[in-house]
Structure 1
């Protein structure tokens, strides 16, 4: 009986101690000093973790990224330097070829050749919604030497030709307009160095491809062959870039070949162009 009473007392003491402890812990947690100390402790732990782990890891990561970026920049600089050397090489060759052309012209009493031209740079200043796919207005006119019929290009290829000229502005008909001004004489360069003559006739707005008609059937045209102006027709001088061959289709009954060509020009984003002036 005495042992049973002792056991009860121990149990009651443990329960009472637990209740008092819980109440005390609740009071301490709600105490402002405890909360402040708690925050300070965790701030201290976070600071140590950041200094020992987070900061070094982040620093190593940044250094690795910087090193990788540095090597990428160095590689790009080496590539650009190599390309610049190539440009200097081609410029020297171009100067030599120009010298030879001038000598040959003197020997043959020629004033001009099919590939000679100069460029007048211009800015597209107006493009109405009604003629968005057919014409643009540029900020060069007769005062700058622009004439009706002059060709218009960008570094990526043929754009169109001038159809109207004022003193300060000109209207350019685009080759995607599918009108009488769109057609032009072109030539496709074969791997052997020879050329195949053709006529660029129309533009498909759904496929973004031009149609070129060839009358020769005993030739092999393959994708990516270069297409340029032939110099025939009196508008564009020879050798201006038009685009590349996309695909080829034989006409029924073997009457000819239809070539589908792609241009590198973005006709929806024309900002700067050059007017081609033949001598």
Structure 2
């Protein structure tokens, strides 16, 4: 009985091997068509792949898009930071450029003020309600500043010292509405100088008013207007502006000229307080 089962197993093993070899041979045979079972398996496998491929591709694409969005956000954030740094750097460059130009202009102006002692000062205060009237600078009596001294920028005259304390001073601008703020001036021309007085400021036209000009005086546009130094306060030869228009005065006896200021009264940072050398000599003699 055991021998029978042993032979039966051996026969079953041989039949299985023969069937497997036959199946392999059948598979390796060059065929033009697949069997129905192979077709079924291939179709089923393809359908399953198609069924899961699209969702898998969509999910993979979604995560890729999320990653791309994260990368884009980081890049945009970095670019914004770089842009802010560039804007700040550009603003700093412009500020330094402006300060450099002002300092160079001040140095050039100091060279031309041979009859004066220039006192450099910085604007440290300005009242918004009196923006066109006064500014406060960081030099006072301790630095030799006194009332009525002329104040200029590299472009031209802007006003005079109204009050001087120990370490600061208040400068009254030429654009201030003050009838007492008179400046003797002359128009520089080829035929000679024409004298008059700066009396007031036209807010609408942004122009100084040069009055009391002789009616027969010949004045043209673009001619320079300078300080005459006749009042004993302002030195002679400080630039005030240039003539824009000449009209008869209200009585028709003299002329009045609208003068475009050489200096910018609205934007003032660095100034020069002009001390006449004759005043400095008198102070030294008094000591």
* Common fold: TM-score over 0.5: yes
2: CA distance, partners of 1:180 / 1:278: 25
Q: 5+ residue gaps in structure 2?
A: 1-52, 62-107, 278-287
Secondary structure class of the residue paired with 1:222: coil
2:260 to 259, 262, 265: 262
2: CA distance, partners of 1:218 / 1:248: 12
> Given the alignment of the two structures, is residue 176 of structure 1 paired with residue 178 of structure 2, yes or no?
no
Aligned length: 188
Which is greater in Rg? 2
1: CA distance, partners of 2:56 / 2:160: 86
Corresponding residue number in structure 2 for 1:199: 197
2: CA distance, partners of 1:149 / 1:181: 12
1: CA distance, partners of 2:181 / 2:156: 14
Shift of 1:193: 5.3
Q: Given that residues 161 and 181 in structure 1 are in contact (C-alpha distance below 8 angstroms), is that contact kept between their aligned partners in structure 2? A: no
> Given the alignment of the two structures, is residue 136 of structure 1 paired with residue 145 of structure 2, yes or no?
no
2:240 to 239, 242, 245: 242
1: CA distance, partners of 2:236 / 2:244: 21
User: What TM-score, normalized by structure 2, do the two folds share?
Assistant: 0.56
Secondary structure class of the residue paired with 1:130: helix
Shift of 1:131: 2.3
2: CA distance, partners of 1:247 / 1:275: 30
Shift of 1:236: 1.0
Corresponding residue number in structure 1 for 2:98: none
Corresponding residue number in structure 1 for 2:159: 160
> Given the alignment of the two structures, is residue 151 of structure 1 paired with residue 181 of structure 2, yes or no?
no
1: CA distance, partners of 2:159 / 2:250: 31
Deviation per CA, 1:10-57, whole angstroms, max 9, x where unpaired? xxxxxxxxxxxxxxxxxx99996xxx9xxxxxxxxxxxxxxxxxxxxx
Q: Given that residues 187 and 195 in structure 2 are in contact (C-alpha distance below 8 angstroms), is that contact kept between their aligned partners in structure 1? A: yes
Deviation per CA, 1:222-247, whole angstroms, max 9, x where unpaired? 11000000011111110000000000
1:213 to 211, 214, 230: 211
Q: Given that residues 176 and 182 in structure 1 are in contact (C-alpha distance below 8 angstroms), is that contact kept between their aligned partners in structure 2? A: no
2:273 to 264, 272, 275: 275
2: CA distance, partners of 1:231 / 1:253: 27
CA RMSD of aligned residues (A): 3.5
Secondary structure class of the residue paired with 2:214: coil
Q: Where does structure 1 differ by over 4 angstroms across 4 or more consecutive aligned residues?
A: 28-32
2: CA distance, partners of 1:116 / 1:193: 26
Q: Given that residues 217 and 255 in structure 1 are in contact (C-alpha distance below 8 angstroms), is that contact kept between their aligned partners in structure 2? A: yes
> Given the alignment of the two structures, is residue 120 of structure 1 paired with residue 136 of structure 2, yes or no?
no
Shift of 1:117: 1.3
Corresponding residue number in structure 2 for 1:52: none
Q: Given that residues 121 and 270 in structure 2 are in contact (C-alpha distance below 8 angstroms), is that contact kept between their aligned partners in structure 1? A: yes
Q: 5+ residue gaps in structure 1?
A: 1-27, 37-90, 99-114
Deviation per CA, 1:108-138, whole angstroms, max 9, x where unpaired? xxxxxxx821210100001112322211110
2:221 to 196, 220, 223: 223
Shift of 1:264: 2.8
